[in-house]
Amino acid sequence: MKRRAFFTLTALLLLLSISVQAQNPFFEEFRTPFKVPPFDIIKEAHYLPAFQEGTKRHQVEIEAIANNPESPTFQNTIEALDRSGDLLDIVNNVFFAMNSANTNEEMQEIAKTVGPQLSEHFDKIRLNDKLFQRVKAVCREKDDLNLTTEEEKLLEEYYNEFIRGGADLNERDKAVLIEINKEIAVLILKFGENVLKENNAFELVIDNEEDLVGLPEAVVAGASETAAERGYEGKWVFTLHKPSMVPFLQYSAKRDLREKIYRAYLNRGDNDNEWDNKKILAKIVSLRVKKANLLGYKTHAHFVLEENMAQEPDKVYDLLRQLWKPALKKAKEEARLLQKMIDEEGGDFKLESWDWWYYAEKVKKAKYDLDEESLKPYFQLENVIQGAFTLANKLYGITLEERPDLPKYHEDVRVFEVKEADGSHIGILYTDYFPRESKRGGAWMGAYRKQSKRDGKTISPVICNVGNFSKPTKDKPALLSYDEVLTLFHEFGHGLHGLFSNCTYRRLSGTEVATDFVELPSQIMENWVSEPEMLALYAKHYRTGEVIPWELVEKMKKASHFNQGFALTEYLAASFLDMDWHTVTGTEELDVNKFERQSMKRIGLIPEIISRYRSTYFRHIFANGYSAGYYSYIWAEVLDADAFEAFKEKGIFDRKTAQSFRDNIVSRGGTEDPMTLYVRFRGAEPKIDALLERRGLN
């Protein structure tokens, strides 16, 4: 009887599996406008079967290319590689975007399952000797093939991918490499998951109204609503999400509570609990060294930087040191200024890292008669979004039209169709701007589908911008801090990079560029944010509609260099920490906190400032794609400061300059050497002068 019941259950599960697959939206072309993902019908149960089927189909396509009896050509080998794996590409893009923006335990378990499977799948492709021999054969004949610049670049990319993927290794080392990559894939997922859980686990619950002293009304209202959502009626809750934590650090007069929330933020992944990241990141670093050595590189940084503009670690360190000296000098001056205010107020204590935001805000108020709260009413989220869209229209003539008819994965999401000036379709942009427990921290851009061309037709991009900005309250709309405004414009710049792509091959399209070049199209957008002509277009009081007063703009300009020592020093410290981790040559698993302390001691970081990211929650380098690449933001800032000079010379809304920037940089993806593209736009290589002036360090 039990045996019969077992067979009945097995048959039921098999039928259920077949039913799920038959109804799986990934197994047919999306029947939505513009073929966007049908988020309204995609379920967690669809992902694993789609990954399995996508991997299987991709492997069949790869075998067909590798075993093609015809002589290798660019079309039947290189182009065929780029066009393979359509189903896997789609499910991969959608799933990992959702795992970042709208995850749950089931999604995280799927990620742990498919992570090592995908790593092994792509390793087997790169280690397929038959396929590699065909790629090499095309490479040998490239000078006689009359290839376009983009085709040459695609060939170079695939050849380098095979070499850097271990195609020249012996069979034993290939097997070792596969295991290393699988293990790294699991560890980086676990690292990011731990940071998310640590973030969500902390609550600063306040039940005494006196402990709210100094906090602005809107901040208190937001904390009250958070408390109500979490079942703390009549109390106030602050979290480690930036829109909650940062205002608390800026305005709370309760020093002990500032320390409590700040320490919780600093110690994420370093609490010796189930979410501790020390052993995980030490293992990641060790495995990365082993992999680099296996492939013939001295360190992981040498392996990574070979494909970036910097090319080698020494050039990165040279740039960081060049900026470190003036930044640290200015930070020390700022620290003395803050300590002076503490002393004048009768504070019998030494400035600590959890005091910096609070006293910096007080000094800014005293010195420039400017505080964050006086700006926020002019930065209503709706107006800021429209400001970014207006800027894109003035520069490029494009329009963004909201499409509420398109499916979305969460009620916070909005969807826009992006069109050229003549009304022709460019692509789709999803925006998702509010924090929640299912979303990781930070802000980013992603692509559900990258732009490409096939059989004479353009496949339009489907792009997303995700953030964690201040939420609306019962009484007020979402009012952004100035930093949040910069972030929104920054990510919109990444979005335009994906939307404006005009490439044939998806391997090279959109943001598929060197890590230290990818931030140029995003960071340049930040330059417009505080320009008076731009502010007049979007910085309007949420109640009165009044444009931000000229006096306030003048105060912003005068205060623009304030606290730049702190901002640059904490960023550079994180960049040094990243490079130090990834120029490690030994494979032993290091003591994480000891290593970090030594790294910061070497550069002379003052104790009043902590690295922007401590190792145990440094997602950029241990869970995302910025290992040995966090320096990219300042590298790109040299580029964007220099590039914006071109706009200032001709007028900040000059269409001709904007079109040149779009044609020569933003639309070109990774089809040419990045410096070649930059010089084509600017006429010369960038100088550091504009950056130093902007930061007030010259």
pLDDT tens digit sequence for 166-209: 999 999 999 999 999 999 999 999 999 999 999 999 999 999 99
For CA atoms 377, 379, 381, 383, give the dihedral sign. positive
Which SS3 state, helix, strand or coil, does residue 416 take? strand
Q: Are strands 236-238 and 204-206 parallel, antiparallel or unpaired?
A: antiparallel
Output b/e per residue, 198-217; b: 16+ Cβ within 10 A. bbeebbbebeeeebbebbbe
Which SS3 state, helix, strand or coil, does residue 464 take? strand
Q: Which pLDDT belongs to residue 14?
A: 46
Q: How far apart are CA 538 and CA 30, in angstroms?
A: 37
Regions of the chain short of the pLDDT cut 50: 1-7, 9-17, 20
Task: Compute CA distances 666 → 37, 57, 358, 382, whole Å.
Answer: 25, 33, 39, 26
With the CA atoms of 448, 450, 452 and 454 taken in that order, what torsion angle do they form, in degrees rounded to the nearest 10? -20
Nearest to 112 by CA among 165, 182, 195, 54: 182
Cross-strand bridge partners of residue 428: 417, 462
Top CATH class of 278-370+564-622 equals: mainly alpha
596 is catalytic: no
Cross-strand bridge partners of residue 597: none
Question: How many C-beta atoms lie closer than 10 Å to residue 433's C-beta?
Answer: 24
Give the tokens for residue 169.
């290794």
Question: How many C-beta atoms lie closer than 10 Å to residue 11's C-beta?
Answer: 10
Phi, psi for residue 458 in degrees, rounded to 5: -90, 130
Q: Where are the domains of the chain?
A: 2-168, 202-266, 278-370+564-622, 377-558+632-695
For CA atoms 172, 175, 181, 182, give the dihedral sign. negative
Angle at 24 between CA 19 and CA 28, to 5 degrees: 125
Which SS3 state, helix, strand or coil, does residue 453 take? strand
695, 324 contact by CB (below 8 A): no
Q: How far apart are CA 635 and CA 643, in angstroms?
A: 13
Give the tokens for residue 590.
């290091």
| Total residue length of the chain | 698
Q: How far apart are CA 640 and CA 631, in angstroms?
A: 14
Give me the DSSP letters along 212-234: GTT--HHHHHHHHHHHHHTT-TT
422, 397 contact by CB (below 8 A): no
Q: How far apart are CA 84 and CA 74, in angstroms?
A: 14
CA 534 from centroid of its chain's CA atoms: 25
Q: Are strands 457-459 and 452-454 parallel, antiparallel or unpaired?
A: antiparallel
Task: Compute CA distances 486 → 149, 455, 489, 666, whole Å.
Answer: 35, 40, 5, 19
For CA atoms 676, 677, 681, 682, give the dihedral sign. negative
Angle at 234 between CA 229 and CA 240, to 5 degrees: 50
The reply to whether 2-168 and 377-558+632-695 are identical in fold is yes
236, 206 contact by CB (below 8 A): yes
Angle at 366 between CA 360 and CA 368, to 5 degrees: 90
Domain 2-168: give its CATH code: 1.10.1370.40
CA 405 from centroid of its chain's CA atoms: 28
- For tokens 């923006």, what's the residue? 101
Q: How far apart are CA 488 and CA 557, in angstroms?
A: 20
Q: Are strands 414-419 and 399-402 parallel, antiparallel or unpaired?
A: antiparallel
Element (H, E) at 457: strand 457-459
Sheet with 444-449: list strands edge to edge.
399-402, 414-419, 425-432, 462-466, 444-449
Looking at 447-560, list the stretches that DSSP marks H as alpha helix, in order from N- to C-terminal side.
Answer: 482-499, 520-526, 532-538, 550-558
Which residue type is seen at 412? D
Question: How many C-beta atoms lie closer than 10 Å to residue 421's C-beta?
Answer: 10
Cross-strand bridge partners of residue 236: 206
566, 356 contact by CB (below 8 A): yes
Strands (E), 80-225: 204-206
Angle at 590 between CA 585 and CA 594, to 5 degrees: 115
Which SS3 state, helix, strand or coil, does residue 542 take? coil
Which residue type is seen at 263? R
Nearest to 414 by CA among 488, 482, 474: 488
Tell whether domain 377-558+632-695 is in CATH 1.10.1370.40.
yes
Nearest to 405 by CA among 396, 415, 395, 413: 415
Q: Catalytic residue among 373, 491, 512, 570, which?
A: 491
Q: Which pLDDT belongs to residue 4?
A: 44
* DSSP at 697: -
